[in-house]
Structure 1
Amino acid sequence: MYVLENGDPQAPPVLLLHGGGVAGWMWRPTLDRLGGAARVIVPDLPGHGNSAGETYRSHAETARALAEVLEERAPRGALVAGFSLGAQLTTLLAATRPDLVTGAVVVSAQARPLRFPGTTLGLLSAAAPLARQRWFARLQAKELFVPAELLDDYVRDSALVSRATLLASVGENIRFTLPAGWSRFENPALVMVGERERTLMRDSARDIHDALPGSRMISVPGCGHGIPLQRPDLFAEILAEQV
């Protein structure tokens, strides 16, 4: 798994986990605003970006690999912040390896499984070749609030995502339920959701917050499913406050 580090080596470590279909580059606007407040660890998850050669298989396998990254690069633990698919992985890491997670920021995680995942995955499989078409990738980028300066990164990496990775990562995403250990996580946790996200996402945020006593929840005005890209200034400010 490709991992990029930047920032002051002596600063508190932060692990940033991107969403499905994008890669570590999605954090660039946040990093520009975060400055030297943190030592940032940014992996490209399996099947994505510079890790596209390795197929995404499961959340559980990916969480174990991320724990190994933390054991090597932040053995005393790190603040873990994740978006969408990365937010699900954040809750899983906090639940299974709380010794490595000093705090959790969970952004736009789905926590209620879809009723008919097979239908969704069947449609997705049929549409998978479209991801290699530039016009389709540009349409998807708009839906994900990818800014103009990151559009080329999105179009390039969309074409690299294999059908196997797409089906496995989306399948894990739409079947996801909160891990049992999440309710026992004792370090600070913040749950974020866009005010304009789908009802499913807003309800999921409430479920995640309600499942963990002492957690905080923020609904971000004017945002859809893309808080770190729509409001990188706010997101960087929140990370700086958490470390």
Structure 2
Amino acid sequence: MATTHSVDSSEIAYERHGDGQPLLCLHGGMAPRQYWRPVLPHFREYAPVIPQRPGFGTCLDNMAETSAEGVLDREAQYVRTLVDAVDGEPVLFGHSFGALTAIEAATEAAVDAVIAYEPAVLPEGYRQQADLADRMATLVDDGEREEAVKRYIEQVLHPDGIDEFDAWLSEWPVWPDCVELAEEVVRMNRAVEQYRLPETLDVESPVLVLTGTNGPEFLRESARDVHEALPHSRLVEFDGVSHSGPGEAPDRIAAAADAFLQR
């Protein structure tokens, strides 16, 4: 693992694969290295960079002090630090909260392009009734960490339900490692519930916004809203793909991304 340091001297660890243009892969609420494994073989022309996101395996002295209000700023800052650390102008490839982070980071970082799969933005009507963070926090406080993460998976990743859920979990590459991330996922969800999409996102780089028909309808709606708020963006929807698009259909996602980047 290579390392760099942020402006507050916190250590940021990351993996780099290949020798092409840097492709910074920013994950959402699950374990980073495991999540991107299916994606890597489909981006051989690039150099995927997989950071260990703050709170997801790194030891930051100020981690416990980061409030929900400060989580997105913290995330965007560490991405900007990585942008400065790699050679050339990278592409930011974010999934879910990582997609929102990529867009926020690109407002102040020199990047070649952004790929954002279903940014974690809640439409206004949905956000007003969102309570996933509270429900997860209650379970964590009661010592039910696995159940807390299961609520996240059920609501965000597979809202239509999964047959034989526990059997599916046993085959899921990031389970049970992601259970250790429960508190950080709660903070992340609070940040999402508080975030309000501005009318215009100040991103000069071109952005590819991706979504799938089998994920939560509110995330498909938010993908369209984000697309409309960006000055230079393209929206692509994948039929039959869920919120886990990059890991579920990496060949289709990579083909769309490569076509966009070769514009």
* TM interval, short-chain normalised: 0.7 to 0.9
Shift of the alpha carbon at 1:86?
A: 0.2
Could you tell me which residue of structure 1 aligns to residue 210 of structure 2?
Answer: 192
Q: d(CA) in 1 for partners of 2:250 and 2:170?
A: 13
- The 5 A counterparts of 1:139-158 are 143=158, 151=171, 153-158=173-178
Percent identity over the alignment is 21
CA–CA separation in structure 2 for the residues paired with 1:203 and 1:142: 15
* 1:105 match: 115
Conserved? CA contact 2:16–2:48, under 8 Å: yes
Counterpart position of 1:85: 97
The one of the two structures with greater contact order (alpha-carbon pairs below 8 A, sep at least 6) is 1
Shift of 1:153: 4.4
Distance 1:136 1:208, change over 3 A: closer
Residue 161 of structure 1 aligns with an amino acid whose one-letter code is: L
In structure 1, the partner of 2:3 is none
Letter matched to residue 29 of structure 1? P
Contact kept? 1:92, 1:179, Cα under 8 Å: no
3-state SS, counterpart of residue 190 of structure 2? helix
Would the aligned equivalents of 2:32 and 2:50 in 1 still touch at CA under 8 Å? no
* CA displacement, residues 80-113 of structure 1 (integer Å, 9 cap, x when unaligned): 010001011011011232x2x1101110113235
Q: Report the 3-state secondary structure (helix = DSSP H, G, I; strand = E; otherwise coil) of the residue aligned with 1:3.
A: strand
Q: How far apart, CA to CA, are the structure 2 residues paired with 1:169 and 1:59?
A: 8
Backbone CA RMSD of aligned residues? 3.2
Residue of 2, 17, 32 corresponding to 1:23: 32
Structure with more of its chain in helix, by fraction: 1
Per the alignment, residue 170 of structure 1 pairs with 189
Question: Quick one: distance in 2 between partners of 1:206 and 1:93?
Answer: 20
CA-CA distance at 1:198 after TM superposition: 2.1
State the Cα deviation string for residues 157-191 of structure 1 (Å, max 9, x = none): 2232152x232111112222336772x32222111
Separation (CA, whole Å) in 1 of partners of 2:37 and 2:73: 27
CA distance in 1, matches of 2:197, 2:33: 24
The aligned counterpart of 1:61 is: 74
Question: What corresponds to 1:73 in structure 2?
Answer: 86
Cα pair distance change 1:222/1:156, threshold 3 Å? same
Asked if the contact 1:125–1:167 (Cα under 8 Å) also holds between the matched residues in 2, the reply is: yes
Residues 152, 225 of structure 1: alpha-carbon distance in 2 compared, 3 angstrom cutoff: closer
CA 1:143/1:195 → structure 2, altered by over 3 Å: closer, same or farther? Answer: closer
Gapped runs of 5+ residues in structure 2? 1-11, 163-167
Counterpart code for 2:89 = G
Quick one: distance in 1 between partners of 2:199 and 2:78?
20
1:131 and 2:145 matched: yes
User: Could you state the TM-score of these two structures normalised by the residue count of structure 1?
Assistant: 0.82
The 3-state SS of whatever aligns with 1:192 is strand
Normalising by structure 2, we get a TM-score of: 0.76
Q: Which residue of 2 aligns with 1:225?
A: 243
| Aligned mates of 2:52, 2:83 — CA distance in 1 | 14
CA contact (8 A) 2:157 2:244 kept: no
